[in-house]
Each structure stands twice: as C-alpha cells, then as structure tokens.
Amino acid sequence: MKTETDKLVNNYVKEVKKHLPDWIKNNAEKLEDIMLEINSHIWDSAQEIANSEDPEPKFVQEAINRLGSPKEMARSYKKRGTPKYFISEELWSIYSNVNWIVGIIVFLVIATVQVVVIEPNNLVQALINGITLSFPTIMTFLMVITWIFVGLSHEGYYPEDLDPDKKADKEKDPKSKFYKPEEFLFSGLVGALFGLLIIIIPIDMINLFRIIVNFILDLLGRNTVAMRSEVVGLSVELQIWLTIIGILAILSGIINLAKIGTSEPGYQFKMNILLIFTGIADFVVAAYILANIHLLAEVIPLSDTVLFLLALLGVIGSLIDLATKVYKNTQLYGIMEDESFPVYS
C-alpha cells in the first residue's frame, strides 16, 4: 500500500518539476525546498482527508487533485516580477540595453558598407542609405528580442537568473555548461544579422570583405591589384551559394535564440540536433566550394593555391564545428540518461 501511495506522490512531484521555470531548476537548494514543500503538503492533506489515519491511495489521489494539475501547480511559481507591459520591470533595463546595442551594431555595419564601398565620396547620402537600409533589419531584430524577453518575463526570470556565473550552485550542475543564455543571444543575433546581410546586400558584403583583406595584405607588406577591383555583378551560381550560406546562418541564429527558452536537457538536446543538421549543411557547402574554387575566386581573386588552402581550411573548420556539436550532444544525452528525480516520502 505504501509503495503505491509513494508512487502517486513521486510521479506528481516529478511532473511538477518538469514544468517549473528554469530560474528554480537552476537553483538546486530552492528546487529541493519546493519539492519537499509540495510533497509535505500532499501527505498532510491526505492524512486530513483520511482522518489522521495512514492514507490510502484514493485519499492521496484526492489530495493531489485538490492541488490541480502539475502545470497549474508549476505556473504558480512563475508569477514573479513586476508587470510592465508584456515584459517585467526587472528585465526592462536589460531589454532596452540589448535593443540599443543591436540597433547600433546593425546601423554601424550597414552604414560602414555604404560609406566605404557604395558612396565613399558622398558621406551624407551614405548615411541616409545606411538609415534607410538598416531600419527594416533593426525592426526584425527588435521583434525577435521582444519575443525572447516576453518569454523570459512569463517564466518569472530576474536579471541574476540570466547570469550563470553569479550562481555558485550552478557550477556544480553539469547542465550549466550547456545552458549559457548570454552566449546563445550573442551567437543568435550575430548569425541572423550576417545571414540577412549576405542575402540582402551580397555585393556590398563581398566588397567590404575585400577591403578588409586588402588592409590585412597591406599590413603584411603584400599588394594584390586584383583584390582592389570592385565587384559589380555576381554569377548565378555564386548568388545561389551566398543565399544558401545566408539561410543557414539565419537558421542557426534562430535555433540559438530558441535555446534561451529553457535549460531542460531534453529541449537543449533537440535544439542541438537541429544545429547538427545545419552543421552538416555547412560542411556540404564548404566541400562544394572546395570542389568549385572558381566561386571563391569571384569573392577573393587570389592564386589557385591560396584559394585551395582557404577552402580546405573552411572544410576542416566545418568538420571541427560539427564534431564539437555532436560531442556536446552526446554529453547532454548522458545527462538526460543519468538525471534522477528524488523520491520524497
């Protein structure tokens, strides 16, 4: 009889734990206290229903029913933070700062392309173009950032919950090294921005890249006249290649942003599976470039030997990145297999 009642209680507690917000899951001590509190409340209620006798399974189940579903119970712990529109007041300053930083970075990148590449002799026109072209991109990122912070506010996050390094107990949690929201945010925004720019203004991005390479070559005491020629048109094959690269970068960025949602190992594992697929696609694209050096020559017209080495480095880099993603996911799978739920009785 005792085993059956214990099973009812432990199953309910485990289900509640699955739906708790991550700011609780990432705090081992607080999580333990909440699980004990729920467990104790169920047994006290069951004994009260059974008139202080040893509660039978039906009394335990009735006590559980009074608490509501695991989702409803977990939702009560998400009511944290002072409402301010759809984003909590506690997260509002971070939300505002991220928007400003992203907006400035997007504008600076696009304006730099305009000033250096498109309108080098007309600063005013270059700045006007920079504002015009950056506005839709900035608005896109603002919508994504808003969506992220609305979700974090709904889960009851506070600023300190977003910084794993400030929590000593997280250092003991093996899941913490796989959940780094600030890293996901940076990687996601940079990846999505690069993908959008390479699709929207591919010629400008290539010209900017040539300028950077020229600067490096000058520092090394080398000068390549061909590198200084400005790109005016792209072959259809190169346009397709750049579009694929842009789409993959945007997808990777979106997946990284989605990973901010929760530190649950199962969720992170699924997101990493998607990243592995994008990594495989990156490797295929890099291998295709290695077999078609003429495409790379359109971007940076150097010698075939140098281009081959660059393409080979791209293939090796994509393989290392893919292997790293697979390795991390095998570790995450191990955590999922080893993760045990405490038994409260």
Residues 7 and 129 in one domain: no
Q: Is the pLDDT of residue 173 over 70?
A: no
Residues 85 and 70 in one domain: no
Q: Is the pLDDT of residue 232 over 70?
A: no
Spatial CB neighbours of 28, under 8 Å, sequence gap ≥ 6:
169, 172, 173
* Domain range enclosing 129: 81-162
Mean pLDDT, residues 327-345: 61
Paired tokens of 201: 């203004």
Residues 185 and 136 in one domain: no
The answer to whether 27 and 166 are in contact (CB under 8 A) is no
pLDDT in tens, 82-129: 555 677 766 777 778 788 888 888 777 777 777 766 677 777 777 777
Residues 175 and 112 in one domain: no
Query: Of 16, 10, 19, 8, nearest to 266 (Cα)?
Result: 19
The C-alpha atoms of residue 99 and residue 114 are separated, in whole angstroms, by 22
Which of 18, 51, 78 terminates a domain? The answer is 78
pLDDT of amino acid 248: 92
% of the chain exceeding 90 in pLDDT:
4
Domain total of the chain: 3
Residues 129 and 89 in one domain: yes
pLDDT of amino acid 168: 42
Residues 228 and 309 in one domain: yes
Burial class (CB in 10 A: 0-12, 13-18, 19+), 123: exposed
Q: Is the pLDDT of residue 53 over 80?
A: no
DSSP per-residue letters across 137-151: HHHHHHHHHHHHHHH
The answer to whether 56 and 50 are in contact (CB under 8 A) is yes
Query: Of 324, 298, 326, nearest to 311 (Cα)?
Result: 298
Residues 9 and 155 in one domain: no
Query: Residue 56: which pLDDT band, with cuts at 50, 70 and 90?
Result: confident
Q: Is the pLDDT of residue 229 over 50?
A: yes
Residues 197 and 129 in one domain: no
pLDDT of amino acid 234: 82
Residues 97 and 210 in one domain: no
- Rg over alpha carbons for the chain, rounded to the nearest Å, is 27
Query: Residue 16: which pLDDT band, with cuts at 50, 70 and 90?
Result: confident
> What pTM was estimated for this model as a whole?
0.55
Which of 124, 144, 162 terminates a domain? The answer is 162
**Regarding predicted confidence, which is higher, 76 or 140?**
140
Which of 78, 100, 128 terminates a domain? The answer is 78
Query: Residue 247: which pLDDT band, with cuts at 50, 70 and 90?
Result: very high
Helix axes 28-49, 2-19, angle to 10 degrees: 140
Mean pLDDT, residues 257-267: 78
Residues 189 and 150 in one domain: no
Residues 146 and 91 in one domain: yes
The answer to whether 22 and 156 are in contact (CB under 8 A) is no
DSSP per-residue letters across 47-67: HHHTTTS---HHHHHHHHHHH
Query: Residue 47: which pLDDT band, with cuts at 50, 70 and 90?
Result: confident
Mean pLDDT, residues 275-280: 90
Q: What is the sign of the dihedral through the CA atoms of 202, 204, 207 and 212?
A: negative
Residues 187 and 254 in one domain: yes
pLDDT of amino acid 223: 57
